[in-house]
Amino acid sequence: MAAKRPQKKSSTAKGDGTSGRSRGSGTKSGTRKGSKTPAATEKTLTRLVIVIMGVLCLVFTVMAGYWLWQGGADATRPVPPSKTERQKTPAATSPARPTPAQPSATAGKVQSGEASRTTGKGVHADAQSDASTPGGDADKAAPSVPRNATSDAVDGEGAVRAPVNAGALPYEESLDAPLEEGVKQVDYALVQTLVRLGIARERLRIASVETRNEQGESYHFQQMTLGVGDAPDRFVKAFVEALSVWAERAQMRKKADDLIEVYVGGVLTHEITLSLYESVEEPRPGTPVEGALLAIVIDDIGESMGAVRDLLKLDYPVTFAVWPRSSHAREAAEAAHRAGREVMIHQPMEPLKYPSVKPGPGAIYVRMGSDEIEATLRDNLARVPHAVGLNNHMGSRFTQDTRGVRAVCDALEGKGLFVLDSVTHSGSVFYREARKAGLPAGKRNVFLDVIHDKRNIMFQLDKAARVAHEQGVAVAIGHPLAETVAALKEWQRTRDKSVRIVTMRQLLDAETTARR
């Protein structure tokens, strides 16, 4: 039997086998070297997305931290000033005006707008306290924010007033007096120029302060002498620039090499004589300084006992005007009385912009009848023990209402109280009607802290002292702001000791005696 020969595979079969192996081999090779499977690709993309998101989160975290840090730094700066829209009156000698933050004026009495303040607590960071800072440079740009020095006014509890923030005064009214506002801004520009050039405050002497009237608005016309040494042009250059930043309505004119004039809205407000000597002449013997009396009244007392304690430490007396519905009205009044300080009621009265601006609880309004006014005053007097006088809180509308003011005077009759007209509006009749009713009465001469800057407040204190020299008596009103407390502390060291700091009662008694 013949042996069976092995059958040859057909070429087709062989080819198919080869192709099959090739396909198998190709598939295996593709898995190792070619494109990844969908699952692997998805995993890679997921990792990439996670990495990108992580980087973005890190970037956003860093940016947010920087933003918060900047915000915290900004919170320590003073609140920008006046909300009044300023009339643009460019000075002929002024450079192009930048648009920086303006000096703070919200807690004082500046313009016609009024607002209830938000609460908050902040401590200004600049602890420098001397206006004679060396190293000033007229070639540097004028500062765009007030150089407040308030940390030394903060008590151990971290506050001199609750809240410390200058913009957080509750129920505060602004003064409808654009000319006086302009004068204060020129004062501030002058003080900032001294700081910038390193000129000591003692080299500026207020020679006279005259109360003038322009279209029914009172303002201070001031004559000063400044020791600039051998660089008057340097001072003039810096002062012009400071005016362009801080007092847009002001114009400066150089009348002579040693005399400059400043106008606000076309009204002459300042005359400054430039002395080539660094020290300025002191008042000559025979200058009437005897009997110059100054009363300093601090309004809005009662929201911080820290402020009360700091004010009681001063080596001269200030009068405490206590807001009757404040958190610590009775406690503050008792503390002041125990320390031998004078206490007044800071009586809320209706402002011009009521009801959009509210004077706070316990206020009196022009719509009230005499009985309601008397009942409100009686209730408020019971809340402030030891009060010997009353002044108005806000009241730009009420103090112009003769009927309402007479009702207040009638309610005070026989109670042994005096009246202080805060003059929150030039049309106030409060002082006049109180005098007619036979009540001891005075009126405010200087607001200290329209602009919240310690050096500027010290300048206003010097101005008040000069008014006392000129008129025999003067009344200055401030608020328990950190800047004001710091200024009062430092001023006790540098002030003109020929002016006697007295209580309101002492000042009014002296006026009464002088009139006899």
Verify that 242 and 372 share a domain, yes or no.
no
Q: Is residue 94 part of a domain?
A: no
Verify that 206 and 329 share a domain, yes or no.
no
Residues of the chain with pLDDT under 50: 1-6, 8-33, 71-171, 280-289
Verify that 313 and 353 share a domain, yes or no.
yes
Q: Cα(455)–Cα(129) distance, rounded to whole angstroms?
A: 8
What is the token pair recorded at 396? 């730009």
Instruction: Give me the helix-helix angle, 178-197 and 232-246, nearest 10°.
Output: 140
pLDDT (tens digit per residue) in 186-232: 999 999 999 999 999 889 999 999 989 898 888 999 999 999 887 88
% pLDDT > 70, the chain? 68
Its pTM stands at 0.68
Verify that 313 and 379 share a domain, yes or no.
yes
Q: What is the pLDDT of residue 120?
A: 33
Q: How far is CA 49 from the centre of its chain?
A: 50
Residue 476 pairs in a beta bridge with 296, 446
Q: Is residue 317 part of a domain?
A: yes
Q: Cα(238)–Cα(261) distance, rounded to whole angstroms?
A: 15
Verify that 503 and 431 share a domain, yes or no.
yes
What is the token pair recorded at 68? 């918060």
Q: Is residue 464 part of a domain?
A: yes
Verify that 300 and 361 share a domain, yes or no.
yes
Verify that 362 and 446 share a domain, yes or no.
yes
Tell me which residue range forms the domain holding 427: 293-515
Q: Residue 430: in which H helix or E strand, if any?
A: helix 430-436
Domains of the chain: total = 2
Q: Is residue 349 part of a domain?
A: yes
What is the token pair recorded at 346? 């800071």
Verify that 377 and 426 share a domain, yes or no.
yes
Q: Domain holding 200: CATH number?
A: 3.30.460
pLDDT (tens digit per residue) in 319-328: 999 999 999 9
Last residue of one domain, picked from the residues 223, 244, 275: 275
Verify that 199 and 298 share a domain, yes or no.
no
Q: What is the pLDDT of residue 62?
A: 75
Verify that 325 and 247 share a domain, yes or no.
no
Last residue of one domain, picked from the residues 246, 275, 304: 275
Last residue of one domain, picked from the residues 213, 248, 275: 275
Q: Domain holding 434: CATH number?
A: 3.20.20.370
Q: Is residue 107 part of a domain?
A: no
498 CB neighbour count, 10 Å cutoff? 14
